Structure formats: structure tokens, C-alpha cells
Structure 1
Amino acid sequence: MVVDSYQKKETKKYKIFIPSREQILLLLKTAKDLISQKILEKKFSINNQEEKKALRRRLRAMERDGQIIYTRNRCYITPENLKIVKGKVIGHRDGYGFLRTETFKDDFWLSMEQMKLCIHGDIILAHIVNSDRKGRNSAKVLKILQPNNVLIVGRYCIDNKKKFVIPNDSRFNFKIFIFDSLVSNEDISVGTIVVVKLKENSAKKNKIKGTIVEILGKDMGTDLAINIALRTHCIPHLWSKEVERQLCEINDKINQKDFRNRIDLRHIPFFTIDEEDARDFDDAVFCKKKTNGEKGWKLWVAISDVSYYVKPDTALDKAASKRGTSVYFPSLVIPMLPEKISVDVCSLNPHVERLSLICEMNLSNKGELIEYKHYEAIICSHGRFTYNEIFKIWNGDIELRFKYKKLLKYIQNLSSLQKILKKYNISKRGIYFENIEAKFTLDFNFRIKSIYQNIRNDAHKFIESCMILANIASAEFVKKYKHPVLFRNHDRPTKDSIINFRSVLKKLGLSLLGGEIPESVHYSDLLKNISNRPDYEMIQTILLRSMKQAVYSPDNCGHFGLSLPSYVHFTSPIRRYPDLLVHRVIKHLLLKEKNLSEYDLYNLNEVKKIGLHCSMTERRADEATRDVVDWLKCDFMQKKIGYILTGVISNVTSFGFFVRLNQFFIDGLVHIATLIDDYYYFDSIGLKLIGKSSKNTYCLGDTLKVKVIAVNLNERKIELSLCMSC
């Protein structure tokens, strides 16, 4: 029996004996293992029911106050006794999982036994145990803080009259047994894709139950792939009645009261320059060479004044904030703002008056930013151009030059400024990626008809440079006032990433200068030096993988990729919520300059939360788009089974290597099991597979011929084999 030195104090306060908090904590701290209430009762010689109830109440109070933790296996432990972490469960198709935290660089291993206590997406409290024989730090589930309540998409099945759904997302490694449905069961045939809401997460996976809440369809196509992606990634795609009501109150046309306190720039011939299939135009540009003996250029970047129509805390604002960004699928856009806003009243359509926020800049003869100012204006776009049209006009296309002869001198001004920006490179120390993007031509069923390479021309690069300059000027402006705002931060690569990248370069006979902490210019110089190599795209891809993701945060950490001390997103408020927030802050600061406002528009905590959310929605949109594009690629490659194609090894892993098919810009896997001529082992440093007997190697950048042998639509995988006889 444990003697409680605080018992006299407790006896005075309570008629029934209760062990003191101090004694309970002392016992738990000195214990070698977790302790249950029964063990505590035994230690303190508690036998009657009243004393047991009193002990239970005390333990709950101590748990509430954070003095102790109640674990999933009904035991108690003090926070000091173990390394406790909070994180998100990342499931794996093979049954195990990982715990991802915000404080630790590496994920923690969750065994199959631990994954029986939680599911993918749960936010849990766990304690870290020592490394196992594979050198992994493991986590043990203590408590589920926030269960994953998302809807799960899966395929409906029946076996021995038992109805269940197998999740599409293999990270949910269990069946969901269906006991009721919010839709008619008669409408559901085996193989139908349905949406399930979990009813119960029990410890045993085969007891997980759910309710069918929506039927998506059975015949797989692009529309169904998009619907699956939207629900899998929890992307809002419907507008509420409140939003619809607010839209009805917005005027389609500008009236005189909207002109108040705005500079009239309708006489300036602004142009919008976008892709052929663009529908929302949120930026327009105009430039001219300085006169009266001044050297340099004046550049106007006009951005749609979305913040005039979308006010904070309205239904529209809440919907836009929830979405965070527009999602661009190959056949469909899920806009951040309804079409009345995004393609009508806020889109800088040609020959209509539009409200804008202007960033007017003075540039030197070398394209350097000297001065800038922001102000509200009204503009009228004089033309809607595509990148290809502008590029052709710059290069002497007679037909287009005649068609736009009234605007030709202004278009030529853009060309003159482009040559300066190209020559001196507005961010000459930054890393410039020459993206090789695959574009699709879709048929009437929205399936891939053909694939081609989208080549960026000088018009693309010019508009990109103009937008970067406007973003730099906007960052400088908001930074002066120290008002909470979302910066676009891009941190430098980790030391491990640098070491791994250098090891790959060494195998390719290349090097990265800059010592232990290379700067952006060293990466930029590397890319310039290898621009003519056939493996340029592959090296650029590896470089990209070694970089950290850019994020939104009120803490200004600079942009490593652009080699800038501060950067914001200002130029796309129709499709990105951070840009809308920056617009609001800029307009608010303009009022402050005139002493018309004394308060801050947002506080630091609000902006921090918005930044975390917008960073998440950006990744969510990328993942959803990738899911649909991968499905489209697999659907396209089904018709290519048996084809022999040429490709380049783009990635090497322990289970095989991926080959980028030159003709289609699509990756497929040559699994190590198909390499039957030898036993191959993985060289993780050199990123290559080496034959044990033959010493034959397969490494990054190798060109080879492969055969398409299988396509797995469900897992979005294309299987290849080496074509030895070719």
C-alpha cells in the first residue's frame, strides 16, 4: 500500500478518502509502465464503491487540468513521463501508417496494431518510443483528439448478403459495413461508386460502419473522376442559398457612385493576355517609355478590384475563404468565386468598364523597380489577347498586325520592355524553371484525344515578369506599415536535401556551387549551364523535389526561389484568397495614409489561421487535380497496351524505376520484379539499380525502350517492361 503524505489535508476537505493529486502524480511519475485505475485502487488500498467513484472523479479532474493523460487502453500517465506529440495520421495501403507533426521534420511510424486504433486523417495524441531495428522512431496512440469525419468515397460491394464499401483511397485500409442508407438501396448496384459517412470507428477494423449519403455513378469517366476527387479531398463545389441571395444584390453594371475616389484610366489602352481557354481575366497591363528627358519605363499593372464586391464576413467571403483557391481540372473549373463575379463583374473583359486596383511602377533602363504606387481606378480593357497572338505579332505576323493596327504601337511597347526584362532578368539571382508542361486535347466525352507539349514563349515570360514586379512592389508597400498580411514564403532547402541533390549531380558529372548553404543564384547558374543537356528536364524535376513547398504566413521569411527578401501574391484575387486579403490590406493602408483609418483590418492570429488554411487548400487543389489528370492519363494509355515506346528514367526507387515516355510526357513504372536477367539492388545514394552479377545499371537520365504491359485505373498506375529485343 502507498502511504499518502498529504492524507491529513485531504481528510479535512473530504469525508471519503481520496488520494491527493500530489501522491497520484508521484506514483505515476515513478512508474515504469502505464497504470490503470484498478492498479491505483490496489496501490492505495481502495476497496469500497464510494471511494472508487471519488478516485474516478479526481482522475477526470486531473485529466481535464492537463496533469495526467488517459490513454486508449484505459491507463493513466503524466506528460513528463513520455515524449507526447500531436499530429495527423497518414495511412498506408499496406495497413501501417505514419504520424505527421508540425514540430518534427520526420514522420513517426505507426504499426499495423496501432493503426487499428485510428484511421487515416485522424488528429491524435501519441507518445514516441525508441527506434526499432530499422532505425524508425515509432508512435503509440494515446488519444484521438479529432476523428476524421470526412466523407469517404468507395465502391459498393455485396458478399453473403453483407453490404460494404471498399474505399477508393487505399490509405483507408478497411471495409465500411453498410447498415442503412440515406438513398434508396434499389438504386445501388454492385460496383457503384458511393459516398459514405462513417458512423462508428471501433478498435476492430471489421466493425467500422457507415451510411451511404450519395451515389456518384458506376461508369467511370472524366466527370465521375472529378466528382470522386472533389469528395475525396473535401473541396466545396456548391454555392449556399446565402451566396445566391448576395449575388442577386450585386449590380451587373458599374454606376456613378462606384467611381467615387477612383482615378479614371479608361483612356489608357490596357490589354489582357492569357491562355486561349481562359475565362476569367483578373490582370491587364500597359507600358510606355518615359519622356521629357527621363530614362526608363512606366508600367501599369491593373488587377480586378474583387475586394469591392466581396466584403469581409459576408456569405461570399466565407465561401471564398473556405475554397481558398480555384481548382482547374482539364474539363472543368471549380471557381473560388461564383461565375457572376469571376467571369462577369470582376473579369477585365474587353471594351467594358471595370473597377481595378492599380500598381503603377517606374522602371529603370534595366527593368529594375525604382518607384511604385497603388491606387483605386476604373479602366476599360482595349483588347483580349492570347500569349500566342502577342508572340506572333511581336514576330511580324502580317495578318494579326493588320487586324490590330490601331493598337500595334502599344503592343510593340510591350515587346520593347520584354526585351529589357529578358536581357537583365528582373530576378536575376532567382531560380528560373523552364517548365515542360503536357497539355491535353479532349474529345466530346472529355477524354484525352491527344497530348502535346505546352511551350512557353516570350509573351508568357513577359506577363510573368510584370506580375512578379507588381507582387514585389506590393510586398514592399505592406511591409512598411507592419500590418498583418499574408506573405508568400519559400524557405531554403534542408541540408539533407542539398546533400542528396549533390550526390545525384555527382553521378551525372555535375556540381552545385555555394558550399554547405548554397544560395538561389547557385541553383540558377546550374540550370543555365545544363539548359542544352538532353536530361535537363529530369535534373530540373529532381531539383524541384529537393525544394521546400512555398506557404502563406504573416511571418515574412522571404522567397528563396525568387531570391527576394519579401513577396506577396497580389495579382490573382479572382482565383486566390491570399490575393484578395492583400488587396483589402493595401486599400486599408491607403486610407491610413490619408488618416482615414486608425485600426488594423486583421489581427496577427486571424492572418496566421488564414495562411495555414490557404496553404492547405492550395495543396488540396493540386492533389485533386493530379488525381483526375492521372486517371485521364491511365484511361488514355489503356489504348496503348502493347505499344513499344522510348522514354527516359525519371525516378529510381527500391521497387523499380519510373520512365517518362517521350511521346506522351507520361510516367510509367518498370517494376523490379520484371527485371529477370539478374538480381538488382537499390543504390539510394546514386539513385540507381545495380545488377548483382552483371553489374548492369539503371539510373536517372538513361534512355531506353519499354513496352506498355498493363494499366490499373483504380490505382492510377501504368506498368511497363523493358523491351530487351529492341
Structure 2
Amino acid sequence: MDSPTSRTVTGHIDVHHRGHGFLVVRPTLTSEGLSAFIPPPELKHHLADDVVSARITLAEDGRWSASGLSLVHRPRQELYGEVVVHEERVLLRPDRDVGAGNWPLETDGVEVQPGDAVVARIDEDKVRLVRKLAPGADRSLERLLLRHGLRREFGPEAHAEVSQVLARPLAREGRRDLREVPTVTVDSPTTRIIDDALSVLPAGGDGALRLFVSIADAAEFIPEGSALDREARERATNVYLGDTLLPMLPEALSAGSLSLVPGEERLCVTVELRIDPEGRVTSVDVYESLLRSWARLSYTEVAAYLDRGEVSEPMARVREAMPWLRAAAARLTVARAGRGGIDQTRDEAHFTFDEATGEVSGIETERPTTAHALVERFMVAANEAIAGWLVERGIPVPFRVQGEPEPQAVADLDAFALHSGFAAGLGRTLTPLSLAAFARQLSGVPEEAALRSVMFKVLASSRYTVVPAPHFGLAARAYVHFTSPLRRYADLTVHRALKHYLRGRRDFPHEDPDVERLSLHLNERTRRGQRAEKERHRLLEARVMARHVGQEFNGHITRVRASGLLVQLDQPLVEGFLPLEQLPGGPYAPEARETSLVGPTRAFTLGMPLRVRVAFTEEHPGRIGLTLVE
């Protein structure tokens, strides 16, 4: 019998490499989520991502524990592991972040040796060999892909549909023709997937500008329920692993026939915004269009124009449009500043690779420019305008929402700011405008990067849901992802919904439960992709920093733990761990809010600059060990 302290639930398993796990029950529209500890004996025959039913019990310390696990569904079909031999039995020792126990391995006569890295298919209570990895193969990458259920290859049905799409003529009928409107794309020079294009028509008598944000019409070519759609839905998003891209759609489409390359006719969905001189969006028009990009510009070229008036050769053809693009971005910037929210662009680390060997060779820092800010303003404005358009018409889609920060997080930020010499005075409730006012204090100070990294930690995680709710960080009443349908399934879903409306459909169910189920799936797959990206990036960072063991770097504290400090280096942009026992002048203890480690004569505080030395690196789990330089 269920009670407030004991009940039966269904959830999925997260496995910890130390042998225990957690039963995770996701929140729904009507119930809160929870996490219950699974002790090692209960976990023995289960794997990460197994869906199980279990009895959970609430302990006196307020924590849940799970027992009596019963398998409901096992989505995982293959395991990565290493061959072990025990008492003449050949076993698979799986990735310890996936499974705690060894599995009998059927090799079907293929010779294997202890220590061989293999992929095996799960067959009830045993596993069957699929392939051995070659001696020079990247074991870490194979382990990562199978750990997170990520696939490089598309199935034969999807490939067959790609051929059909490539052979299909463009259906131009019924679309607004924007081919003669000066239109540009702005991206990194290495980007091959171009799904957004920009154009602005000059002000009329009332001073209003017409901004066109045109997005590749992927929905026109990928029918719902098709093999391509099923693959895209399962993947949910592009995953960037530094040296490997796992695309949501085959690159023959996303980087080929659907990409908005210059000079080629493309089908698009366009949102046209009328922006008055004060930056208000006074009207929104959405329609299917026919487009031809006039020029492909890089962020560097656009920043050179915005900052110094330099006109590159590719820009010459659209030179007259550039001042109007700048004017539209400036208007949107003023309007956005008036309602609050914070600019979430920040420095990003990018890996470089040796062309001959493919090995990671270094880490470069890409700093946001005026061009990044311009494009970000247009993308946010388009996403927000589409969200409002959908809400007005009662069309259910996966909305992107971000709740208000937790009161404790606000109190922590307030205390941290005061400790760092800033008077935040945020009060009990944080608003987008009050956060923007605090962020303005940090502009230009030497510790800005460190302080902003702490400020970002206050923000709640964003998620998809069918319920249109505000997005705190953007100070938006409603928000969707619309601008990247070649990279994200949420955007593709939004495109389909608005195209249904444009073609006459009106019978949309209110807060469609199918859309909410899709939203939960997208949240899970997005988190999974982000975890994989983070793990791979940490491994590549460790590989690079292994060449710098013994060298000194400047950095700042980004997180305080009872066991030590996380320190982000200023250059290269990587994070390492400085253990408590390496700190002189102890003993140290964390403050209640974990903003400082306090000792008898000194303290180490979030954001504090430090000089550190790289002591060691470990590729698994991607660890960089630091010592303090006095």
C-alpha cells in the first residue's frame, strides 16, 4: 500500500561508476520529479536508462531509496566494454557508467583476448559480440557514443529518403518571392549548416523598418512519420563532440540541398517584423517564401564593418543593406534593455586539430563580437515573435521556458556580490530587470568574466513544455526555438505547426498531451547530448593540457566545494580542480552557501583570481589537477 513515505513508482536508472545508481522520476504537468538512491546489490543486473518499477522509501534524512527493481523496458541494445576472463569464462566488463556487473560474452567463434575493446548486443541475460575495435581506434569516443545512445550512421530507409529529397524539384507555388530582396547569412567560416538568413528594408514614412528572418523550410521535405523524421526525432539535436559532429539530419540535406548557401534558390519560412524607431515590434507576419541568399558573411567580416566601417569583398553586393541591419539590431537592443534580462553570449573554447593526424592540437578562445550580438538580437526577436504568434492562435508546440531563480540562489548571489565589493541589493525576488541592473555593474571591471560566470549559475535550466510560460533570462513572455530546424527537432516541430495553420488547419487541441510527451523526450535527449559534449570536451581538454603539465596559468575560482576549488584558466579556457589538501594555511571549511572556503588566516572565494600550476591530467574522466602558486 502506498503512503507519503513509501510507494511504487516507475522511472529510469542513472548509474554511477562507483557501483551505485539512482532511480530518476521525471516531473510532469501534474507531479513533481524525484531521485531515489539505488544501492549496489539492487543495481547488479540493471543498466543505465533501464525503465523500471520500484518501491521507494523516504528516510529520516529526507532522501529516497529504491528497492525491488523490476524491468519494464530496456532501450539500450548494445554495450561497449572490455573482455575479461574469469575461471575460463569469457565476460564483458561494461562501461562502469552504464552497468555495474559483468556479462557472459558469446563470441561465436571469434578470437578475443583479455583487454580487447568490443561492442556487444544484449541478448536477455548475456551479450553477443558485434565487433572488436581495431588496435588504433579511439576507445574513448566509442565508449561515449554507446554510453549515451548516440549514433553516427543513419539507417538505410533514411538514406533512401535522402535520395528522394535530392531528386525533388522545388515547389515554388504559393510562396512569396524574396529572391530580389538583399539577403545575407552570417556564420563562422567553418559552418556548413546554414539555416537562417537576414534582410532589412529601409524605413518608410513612419520610420519603421521591415526585418525579414528567413529559415530553411526543412518541414517541407521531411514528412512527419517518415524514416528521416523518426531519425531526427530520436536524435533531437545536433551533438558537437569537438572532433566529431553527430547531425540530426543527414549532411547531404542539412549541409547540402537545404542549407541557405549563396546564389541558390531555397524554400524558407519567413517571419517579417515591423520595428518602429523606438524598437517596438508593431506587427508580425509569417509566411512560406522563396529565397536566394546574396552573400555569405563571416562574423569577423560583419564585426569589421560594424566597428570600423570596413567592407569586405563578399559584402560589396549587399553594402546598402548593412546600415539597415545595424539600425534594426540597435532598435531591438534598446527595447530589450528596457525590459531586462541578460546577454548570455560569452567566451567559448574551440579545439584545433592537426590536419595530418586528426589529433587535437590546441584550444582557441572565440570572444563574442558586435556581429554575434547583432545576429543574436535577430534570432531572439524571431523566436519570440513566433511564440507570440502561436500563443495568439492557440497552437500547441514545445515552448522554451525558464523559470525564476530559486530564492536561495538569489540570496547566494546577493551575498557573493557584497563579498566581492558590489552592492546588489536584489531583495527576495529577482526580476529580469533587476538582474540586468546588477549585470551592468560588472561591465568593464577586471573580474567581469569571473563574476558573470557566477551570475549565470543563478539562472534556472531552460526546458521544453507545451505550456507557454515566460523565459526569465530573455525577459520574454513566451519563447520558442524556430530558427534552427536543420539542427533541432523542436524547431522542426514549430515549423510544422505554423505551416499547418498557414495551410488552413484550425483544430489544434489545447495543451496537446502528445506535444508535452514530445517535450519531455526533447528535454531528455537535449540533456543527453549536452552531457556527451561536456564529457568529450573535458577529455580533449585533458589531452591538450597534458602537454602543459608543470606550467603556470592565471585563472579564477568558478565553484567552491568542501573537497576543493574549481578554477577556470584565463587562457586556454579550461577548468581544473585545486584540491583542499593543496591549499596552504588550513584547515579550511566551506561557508554554508559554498561561496568561500574559509581558513584561520585567509579565504578562497568565488571569482577570486589565482595563479595555478598544472599538476597532472587524466583523460578519464577528463580531469585536470592543479596546485596553487603562491
Q: TM-score, normalised by structure 2?
A: 0.91
The offset of 1:91, in angstroms, is 2.9
Q: Do residues 98 (structure 1) and 6 (structure 2) align?
A: no
**Pairing 1:13-92 to 2, within 5 Å after superposition:** 82-92=6-16
The offset of 1:550, in angstroms, is 1.1
1:432 is matched with: 343
The offset of 1:638, in angstroms, is 1.2
The offset of 1:301, in angstroms, is 0.9
The two structures, once aligned, show a CA RMSD in angstroms of 2.7
2:465 is matched with: 553
**Are the equivalent residues in 2 in contact too, given 1:504–1:685 (CA < 8 A)?**
no
**Are the equivalent residues in 2 in contact too, given 1:497–1:546 (CA < 8 A)?**
yes
Q: Which amino acid aligns with 1:302?
A: S
Q: Do residues 180 (structure 1) and 106 (structure 2) align?
A: yes
After superposition, the Cα gap between the structure-2 partners of 1:403 and 1:652, relative to the gap in structure 1 and judged at 3 Å, is: closer
The offset of 1:160, in angstroms, is 5.9
1:195 is matched with: 119
1:609-629 deviation line (CA, Å, top 9, x unaligned): 111111112111111111211
The offset of 1:130, in angstroms, is 4.3
**What is the DSSP-based 3-state SS (H/G/I as helix, E as strand, rest coil) of the residue aligned with 1:250?**
helix
The offset of 1:680, in angstroms, is 2.8
Aligned equivalents of 2:531, 2:157: Cα separation in 1: 29
Q: TM-score, normalised by structure 1?
A: 0.80
Give the aligned length: 624
**What is the DSSP-based 3-state SS (H/G/I as helix, E as strand, rest coil) of the residue aligned with 1:698?**
strand
Q: Which amino acid aligns with 1:679?
A: P
After superposition, the Cα gap between the structure-2 partners of 1:371 and 1:720, relative to the gap in structure 1 and judged at 3 Å, is: same
More moved, 641-650 vs 382-391: 641-650
After superposition, the Cα gap between the structure-2 partners of 1:100 and 1:440, relative to the gap in structure 1 and judged at 3 Å, is: same
**What is the DSSP-based 3-state SS (H/G/I as helix, E as strand, rest coil) of the residue aligned with 2:445?**
coil
Q: Which amino acid aligns with 1:410?
A: A
1:491 is matched with: 403
Aligned equivalents of 1:277, 1:546: Cα separation in 2: 33
Q: 2:302 aligns with which of 385, 390, 395?
A: 390
1:697 is matched with: 603
1:473-527 deviation line (CA, Å, top 9, x unaligned): 2112111221221211111122333333334334324454443221111222111
Q: Do residues 229 (structure 1) and 144 (structure 2) align?
A: yes
After superposition, the Cα gap between the structure-2 partners of 1:491 and 1:80, relative to the gap in structure 1 and judged at 3 Å, is: closer
1:648 is matched with: 556
Q: 1:264 aligns with which of 170, 177, 180?
A: 177
Aligned equivalents of 1:280, 1:307: Cα separation in 2: 16
Q: 2:38 aligns with which of 110, 119, 133?
A: 110
After superposition, the Cα gap between the structure-2 partners of 1:389 and 1:623, relative to the gap in structure 1 and judged at 3 Å, is: same
1:210 is matched with: 127
Q: Do residues 621 (structure 1) and 529 (structure 2) align?
A: yes
Query: Higher RCO, 1 or 2 (CA under 8 Å, sep at least 6)?
Result: 2
1:406 is matched with: 317
**Are the equivalent residues in 1 in contact too, given 2:268–2:288 (CA < 8 A)?**
yes
After superposition, the Cα gap between the structure-2 partners of 1:114 and 1:280, relative to the gap in structure 1 and judged at 3 Å, is: same
Aligned equivalents of 1:654, 1:219: Cα separation in 2: 40
Aligned equivalents of 1:125, 1:500: Cα separation in 2: 38
**What is the DSSP-based 3-state SS (H/G/I as helix, E as strand, rest coil) of the residue aligned with 2:457?**
helix
The offset of 1:216, in angstroms, is 3.5
After superposition, the Cα gap between the structure-2 partners of 1:131 and 1:403, relative to the gap in structure 1 and judged at 3 Å, is: closer
Q: 1:336 aligns with which of 231, 248, 252?
A: 248
**Pairing 1:445-460 to 2, within 5 Å after superposition:** 445-460=357-372
After superposition, the Cα gap between the structure-2 partners of 1:340 and 1:368, relative to the gap in structure 1 and judged at 3 Å, is: same
**Are the equivalent residues in 2 in contact too, given 1:281–1:347 (CA < 8 A)?**
yes
**Are the equivalent residues in 2 in contact too, given 1:418–1:458 (CA < 8 A)?**
no
1:139 is matched with: 65
After superposition, the Cα gap between the structure-2 partners of 1:144 and 1:303, relative to the gap in structure 1 and judged at 3 Å, is: same
Percent identity of paired positions between Structure 1 and Structure 2: 24
The offset of 1:559, in angstroms, is 0.9
Q: 2:456 aligns with which of 544, 547, 553?
A: 544
Q: Which amino acid aligns with 2:16?
A: H
**What is the DSSP-based 3-state SS (H/G/I as helix, E as strand, rest coil) of the residue aligned with 2:180?**
coil
Higher helix content, 1 or 2: 1
Aligned equivalents of 2:428, 2:611: Cα separation in 1: 38
**Are the equivalent residues in 2 in contact too, given 1:153–1:169 (CA < 8 A)?**
no
Q: Do residues 371 (structure 1) and 288 (structure 2) align?
A: no
**Are the equivalent residues in 2 in contact too, given 1:711–1:719 (CA < 8 A)?**
yes
Aligned equivalents of 1:111, 1:164: Cα separation in 2: 23
After superposition, the Cα gap between the structure-2 partners of 1:434 and 1:581, relative to the gap in structure 1 and judged at 3 Å, is: closer
**Are the equivalent residues in 2 in contact too, given 1:401–1:408 (CA < 8 A)?**
no
